[in-house]
Amino acid sequence: MEKSQIAVVRNIQNNDPYLYYGGKRYKNLRTGVEGEIPDETAQKVFKINLELTHFLAENPLVEDLIRCLNLKIDK
């Protein structure tokens, strides 16, 4: 999947950024863990982050910084 088609979402419980690949596939940007999350759970804990989605599309190296520096999303 092309990077420009991937959305970034925020886990509202812990402020971790996740890549949303579509369907039930998510990847935690901070830890690198990837997996499937049921729709019911995803609807409750994830909110789309348009600013970070656009920022990562324009600056793909920031994804590495998030992982290396163990960054979370500041509300």
Range of the domain at 53: 3-69
Q: Is residue 50 part of a domain?
A: yes
Please report the pLDDT score of residue 2 as a whole number: 59
Number of domains in the chain: 1
List C-alpha distances in Å: 72 to 1, 9, 53: 24, 12, 14
Q: Is residue 54 part of a domain?
A: yes
For 6-32, what is each residue's pLDDT tens digit?
999 999 999 999 999 999 999 999 999
Is the separation of the CB atoms in 20 and 6 below 8 Å? yes
Residues 6+ apart with CB under 8 A from 29: 8, 16, 17, 18, 19, 63, 66, 67
Q: Is residue 10 part of a domain?
A: yes
Is the separation of the CB atoms in 36 and 43 below 8 Å? no
* pLDDT surpassing 80 at residue 5: no
For 16-75, what is each residue's pLDDT tens digit?
999 999 999 999 999 999 999 999 999 999 999 999 999 999 999 999 999 999 999 986
The predicted model scores a pTM of: 0.89
